[in-house]
Structure 1
Amino acid sequence: MGDKVTAREFTRADRREFRRKVQRCSDALERMLSEGRFVDDVEPFEPLLGMEIELNLVRADMSPAMVNVSALAAIDDDSVFQPELGQFNVEMNVRPGPLAGEATFELERGLRASLHLADARIREQDAALVMIGMLPTLELEHLDYGRITANPRYELLNQQIFAARGEDIELDVEGVALPGRDADVLRADTDSVAPEAACTSLQLHLRVAPDEFAAHWNTAQCLAGVQVATAANSPFLAGRALWHESRVPIFEQATDTRPPELRNQGVRPRVWFGERWIDSALDLFEENARYFPALLPELDEEDPLERLESGETPALSELQMHNGTIYRWNRPVYDHVDGDPHLRIENRVLPAGPTVLDMMANAALYYGVIRSLVDSGAALWERMPFEDARHNLAAGARYGMEAQVRWPGLGLVPVDELVLRHLLPLADAGLADFGLSAKARDRYLDVIEGRCRTRQTGAAWQRDQVVRREAAGENRRSALVGMLGDYVGHMREGDPVHTWV
């Protein structure tokens, strides 16, 4: 959820000063880019696979466990596990590992071991970890203000979003009908941003040299709809069968600061795909400053331009804070380590789960295709209208593996066909260029191939299981609880979701 905040109230003067400081940060970043101040401009760096995984907590009866504070105390590893927005959430930060040789196997083993140890330590809290995009046993009563984690940032974020909006947030999602059923509809008003906590994701980080940033970001935007379609794992909320990847519409609505009148005027949403291809990372940061008022105008004493003049690396604190309250599906990130600044793309479209192997496969597809397409120099985005990329995200989220996406040279194509015939070979070539071994490439890309051939994602499996249980006489609540119990068992065994029965 971003950086910590210390202020509990913000004045009008704070907001004006914050706007000025964001502009000075943008000016400093522009100078750093033009003067080649980034270490990636002059030194090659080893590509790293970086992940953040948001997790749910459940009790033995599969209901949400509102115990993240005590669970984190029991895990006792704040370098890896941290609180998230909802009391039933925690976040896991995975130490970046190289995309070369068979190093991903060690990363995969380490991830399994960390999750196993954490799960064992929280048993005394009557809690267990679940990697899933949206917990199917969540009800609207679990998503009120009282379920937000006690943290100044979350409290202030909730307060500021509602102050900007001036009224309750509306959730309005028409689902994709289960076979033989009418489509479910979720319509509800909420007085907090807690529904955002229902959306648990896998976030992938890719460090990029500044002069290659635009090509990588544009390509990631092209790929977003395919990622969502092939990895969908969020089909149920509040007892309703919604989209295959319901995180997308719920997240967009749960943090929307715009009342209907501002939406009608075309004011941009804070959960945003964007509206154009870019030429530089600076384009995105400048759009953030130009279009979005501050939610958390926390001020830092540093003057970024003065720090730059002194030969030191500025933190750009206001720019980072503001950027952290604008939820692009591919978010630009400025950071620095030991005084060395760098840029990253934070890919936010994927759900968590269903298994460690599935998430590694999702990462492999993303990193491999991005590398291959960018290195080809063909500039896919120059042949894809931006509206097609936006359409693909919505189609992939709504229909999952049943989606048809628009692709240059192919027109409207089933997503499984696109991946099998075109993107998997690109992913294999891109991962080979990173230096990943054939054994590792086969392990992860075979999972994606299996999903496409069976057309079974986590979302498809969940939907099928609920249909079967209801056909056997169970009501929706019982079917969701039983399905989730089976899901957790499969998740712990670790076999990829396309093999589940």
Structure 2
Amino acid sequence: MGEEVKSGDFSRAHRREYRRKVQLCLDVFETMLAQSSFDFDRPLTGMEIECNLVDSGYLPAMRNSEVLTSIADPAYQTELGAYNIEFNVPPRPLPGRSALDLESDVRASLNAAEAKADGNGAHIVMIGILPTLMPEHLSGGWMSKSTRYQALNDSIFTARGEDILIDIAGPERLSLQTESIAPESACTSMQLHLQVSPADFAKNWNAAQVLAGPQLALGANSPYFFGHQLWSETRIELFAQATDTRADELKTQGVRPRVWFGERWITSIFDLFEENVRYFPSLLPELTDEDPVAELAAGRTPKLAELRLHNGTIYRWNRPVYDVVDGRPHLRVENRVLPAGPTVIDMMANAAFYYGMLRTLSEEDRPVWTKLSFAAAEHNFHSAAQHGMDATLYWPGLGEVTPDELVLRQLLPMAEAGLQRWGVAAEVRDRYLGVIEGRAKTGRNGAVWQVSTVTALQDRGLARPEALAEMLRLYCQRMHSNEPVHTWD
């Protein structure tokens, strides 16, 4: 959800002071990178899973307040839509068999939460975009009760000055105007965190950017929005358009979008925070009483709240994170590329592939990003989002390849080697990379299964809305089985 804010009403003087404070935080952060001791001795991984709530007819259930009250677990929080919840998985180290324990713990927690949701007439679904969501569901009381969300909505539309156009091409093009950020709530993701040292941040972020295209091709799970078949991972384009503060004139001038792949390889985490401050005006300019200069001078760790809040309103697909835990600062790469679902084992496989690949790519003597243009990495990302397993990706030494060829020939051995370097047990590597191999060999990810199932149901005579609801019912059955999506019939 991000940090709650106290008010959505900010004066011009307040905004001016916030800009000054963000710049001050950035200066202090630069000093800390040179002088401070960051916590990275025992790197931890973390995961967030955004979920949807549906009713007995598999339509959106606007009941997250009641469901969260029943769950009564601080690991579960609200998200933007009243039909969304988020599960924050506690951080843990990667080596050994810990991933198997994590899979078991995540399943147990989600099953317990599902039982509580069921008592409120709702069910939890892990999917990139809820396929039964329609325009009528995003009018009235669609938003979670939160000052932050309302302030964010108001700030985006104040900055834009007009309604937002959602226009996504695909097999069934969708074009509509929206007067709120409601469509953003449709985008539910899995976020992966990796704690790194300041010296290692840049190469891990660059590696994550390289990997974004293959990640999406393998993991796409969002082919439908408002009843239209669009991209394999429609969530990518929908999220970008639904939060765009730029009118057409600003796009023409080259103003950067707030949902951003980026534009260059970096040499330091400071590059990203400095770009954020230089390019993006504040959306939630809430001030704190902290004097970061005084905190650092006194030997304490500044929270840098203004800089962190600003960073939280710039939606890079691989986001830099500065955080303070138990008085010690640390840095994380937050990977926001993947959709939620289809199953816990699929998400664990996606995570294992990501962490293994990151380790190998970031430690190569001649990193792949020295042989791959940033524009090519971005093209891979958008091609994979649009076409999934049918995308064409560019990889140095191979040229243009399909995702299955790239994964089977090149990336799986790299992921295996990376997980070995992490000290991950052989049975863990076999379990999760076996899922990735199965997906590459069958060409079946969540998006492929969804489209083929809806097509088959329509061929039997069901209209599109009924076919989507029935597909989602079948999806939920298989989601609970925890059998990987490439094995679904």
Give 3-state SS (helix, strand or coil) of 1:258's partner.
coil
1:171 is aligned to 166
Q: Give me the TM-score of the superposition, normalised by structure 2.
A: 0.99
Aligned residues of 2:51 and 2:340 also touching (Cα < 8 A): yes
Query: What CA distance in whole angstroms lies between the structure 2 residues aligned with 1:437 and 1:231?
Result: 23
Aligned residues of 2:392 and 2:401 also touching (Cα < 8 A): yes
Amino acid in the other structure paired with 1:35: Q
The answer to whether the aligner puts 1:91 opposite 2:86 as a matched pair is: yes
2:101 is aligned to 106
1:131 equivalent among 99, 123, 126: 126
1:35 is aligned to 35
Amino acid in the other structure paired with 2:466: S
Query: What CA distance in whole angstroms lies between the structure 2 residues aligned with 1:145 and 1:269?
Result: 28
Query: What CA distance in whole angstroms lies between the structure 2 residues aligned with 1:3 and 1:311?
Result: 25
2:308 is aligned to 320
Structure 1 segment 387-398 matched on structure 2, within 5 A: 387-398=375-386
- How big is the shift at 1:145? 5.7
Q: Which runs of 5+ in 2 are unaligned?
A: none
Aligned residues of 2:8 and 2:284 also touching (Cα < 8 A): no
1:3 is aligned to 3
- How big is the shift at 1:7? 1.9
2:409 is aligned to 421
2:453 is aligned to 465
Query: What CA distance in whole angstroms lies between the structure 1 residues aligned with 2:155 and 2:250?
Result: 17
2:15 is aligned to 15
Amino acid in the other structure paired with 1:96: P
Amino acid in the other structure paired with 1:496: P
* CA offset digits 1:259-299 (Å, max 9, x no partner): 11111111000000000111100000000000000000000
Query: What CA distance in whole angstroms lies between the structure 2 residues aligned with 1:207 and 1:134?
Result: 28
1:229 equivalent among 206, 217, 225: 217
The answer to whether the aligner puts 1:148 opposite 2:136 as a matched pair is: no
Query: What CA distance in whole angstroms lies between the structure 1 residues aligned with 2:264 and 2:139?
Result: 35
Which range moves more in the overlay, 445-454 or 2-11?
2-11
Amino acid in the other structure paired with 1:114: S
- How big is the shift at 1:48? 2.3
Give 3-state SS (helix, strand or coil) of 2:254's partner.
coil
Structure 1 segment 270-289 matched on structure 2, within 5 A: 270-289=258-277
Amino acid in the other structure paired with 2:389: M
Structure 1 segment 412-451 matched on structure 2, within 5 A: 412-451=400-439
Question: Identity over aligned residues, as a percent?
Answer: 56
Aligned residues of 1:257 and 1:269 also touching (Cα < 8 A): yes
Structure 1 segment 31-430 matched on structure 2, within 5 A: 31-40=31-40, 44-45=41-42, 47-77=43-73, 79-144=74-139, 146-175=141-170, 183-430=171-418
Query: What CA distance in whole angstroms lies between the structure 1 residues aligned with 2:45 and 2:281?
Result: 33
Aligned residues of 1:372 and 1:427 also touching (Cα < 8 A): yes
Amino acid in the other structure paired with 1:66: M
Aligned residues of 2:346 and 2:485 also touching (Cα < 8 A): yes
* CA offset digits 1:12-69 (Å, max 9, x no partner): 01111111111111100100111143233xxx22x32210000000011010000000
* CA offset digits 1:207-244 (Å, max 9, x no partner): 11000100000110000011011000000011100100
- How big is the shift at 1:144? 3.3
Give 3-state SS (helix, strand or coil) of 2:114's partner.
helix
Give 3-state SS (helix, strand or coil) of 1:321's partner.
helix
Amino acid in the other structure paired with 2:54: V
Which range moves more in the overlay, 82-91 or 146-155?
146-155
Aligned residues of 2:192 and 2:336 also touching (Cα < 8 A): yes
Q: Which runs of 5+ in 1 are unaligned?
A: 176-182
Query: What CA distance in whole angstroms lies between the structure 2 residues aligned with 1:484 and 1:8?
Result: 37
Query: What CA distance in whole angstroms lies between the structure 2 residues aligned with 1:219 and 1:471?
Result: 43
Give 3-state SS (helix, strand or coil) of 1:344's partner.
strand
Which range moves more in the overlay, 28-37 or 488-497?
28-37
Query: What CA distance in whole angstroms lies between the structure 1 residues aligned with 2:249 and 2:8?
Result: 29
- How big is the shift at 1:376? 2.1
2:442 is aligned to 454
Query: What CA distance in whole angstroms lies between the structure 1 residues aligned with 2:47 and 2:305?
Result: 23
Amino acid in the other structure paired with 1:480: L
Give 3-state SS (helix, strand or coil) of 1:50's partner.
strand
Aligned residues of 1:202 and 1:350 also touching (Cα < 8 A): yes
Amino acid in the other structure paired with 1:319: L
Query: What CA distance in whole angstroms lies between the structure 2 residues aligned with 1:296 and 1:263?
Result: 22
Give 3-state SS (helix, strand or coil) of 1:460's partner.
helix
Q: Give me the TM-score of the superposition, normalised by structure 1.
A: 0.97
Amino acid in the other structure paired with 1:49: T
* CA offset digits 1:451-497 (Å, max 9, x no partner): 00000000000000011111111111111011000000000111000
- Give the length in aligned residue pairs: 489
Query: What CA distance in whole angstroms lies between the structure 2 residues aligned with 1:145 and 1:346?
Result: 33
1:24 is aligned to 24
Aligned residues of 1:145 and 1:192 also touching (Cα < 8 A): no
* CA offset digits 1:76-134 (Å, max 9, x no partner): 11x21000000100000001122111111111100000000000011121100000000
Query: What CA distance in whole angstroms lies between the structure 2 residues aligned with 1:94 and 1:494?
Result: 18
1:484 equivalent among 467, 472, 487: 472
Query: What CA distance in whole angstroms lies between the structure 1 residues aligned with 2:417 and 2:29?
Result: 34
Query: What CA distance in whole angstroms lies between the structure 1 residues aligned with 2:261 and 2:168?
Result: 18
Moved over 3 A (4+): none
Amino acid in the other structure paired with 2:144: T
Give 3-state SS (helix, strand or coil) of 1:95's partner.
strand
Give 3-state SS (helix, strand or coil) of 2:166's partner.
strand
* CA offset digits 1:344-391 (Å, max 9, x no partner): 010001000000000000000000000011122321111110000110
Query: What CA distance in whole angstroms lies between the structure 2 residues aligned with 1:330 and 1:373?
Result: 15
Give the root-mean-square deviation of aligned CA atoms: 0.9
Query: What CA distance in whole angstroms lies between the structure 2 residues aligned with 1:112 and 1:36?
Result: 38
